[in-house]
Amino acid sequence: MKTIAFFDTKPYDKESFLKFKTDELNIRFFENKLNADTVSMAACCDGVCAFVNDSIDRKVIDELEKFGVGVVALRCAGYNNVDLKYANGKIKILRVPAYSPYAVAEHAMGLILTLNRKLHRAYIRTRDHNFSLEGLTGFDLKDKTVGIIGTGKIGIVFADICKGFGMNIIGYDPYANPDFPGKYTDLDELLQKSDIISLHCPLTKSNSHLINEETIAKMKKGIYIINTSRGRLVDTESLIDGIKSGTVGAAGLDVYEEETALFFEDYSEEIVRDDKLSTLISMPNVIVTSHQAFLTREALDSIAKTTVKNFEDYFDGKDSENEIVVNS
């Protein structure tokens, strides 16, 4: 039997993984996030399961290698929290490349609909028996132009949803996808023509702060910015300035660049000492959700099933199509 150290555990994680766990795997669930201070919990384990806000940096990799841990299975698609080059030759890194693109794409559209039709404000208003419609005017999505940055599986599903609303669809991606139902443009044209911009690309060194002061200045006045991908794609300070100036009409954020110590936790009884996040949350035309776009029953089951299979393949000595390989 192989023992897995499972970090950043939430009740829904435990429920889904126990459903697919085999007798060959002994999973030790930890609520702590994986980092240099908690990596010692993986001592005497054969593998590690990590999530988006766990840190697999050089120090963690060295400690895991010292413990004899040969594999880290990420229960997510992104891997910007892993020092892949340093891990190369030391520890195998596996991931879940796709779980439910529908979950994330539908959440992105949910943010658009809520912001546009002011559903969050209407909900609060009617609970106070205030049935005024003042300030709740939205716009038809039909014939509006949506710019999709990143046209992988999630971007394609999101584009199909937008197509159902009768929207004009344009996209930007260095790698064209033949399934994309819209028109590809360069980034500048997308920024200038879009009424709504939705981010569906992975975070890389080259696109960190893709949305910044310079790119926001190229956008239409009143642009909606939706980010359900990775927080560091958006420079928070520039976004706040864009909202204050009126260039950005609304923002829907399921991710935040400084989310690591905050998201997935309950701080309702504490003072959150993050002025940028507090400013965003206080704005009536901003919705922040706590990295929940993936959170559907179907996605959780798919993540668990694939991650368990990744561990099984590794311990059986099989090559995995889900291994992340980088050149030295």
Residues with catalytic function: 230, 259, 291
Residue of 84, 148, 141 whose CA lies nearest to 115:
141
Cα dist. 284→25, 89, 138, 191, 244 in Å?
A: 47, 49, 14, 24, 11
SS (H, E, C) 6-43: ECCCCHHHHHHHHHHCCCCEEEEECCCCCCCCCHHHHC
Q: What three-state secondary structure class fits 111?
A: helix
Max Cα-Cα span within the chain: 64
Do residues 82 and 326 lie in contact, with contact meaning Cβ atoms separated by under 8 Å? no
How many CB atoms within 10 Å of residue 271?
Answer: 7
Contact 314, 47 (CB under 8 A): yes
**Cβ–Cβ under 8 Å, residues 139 and 253:** no
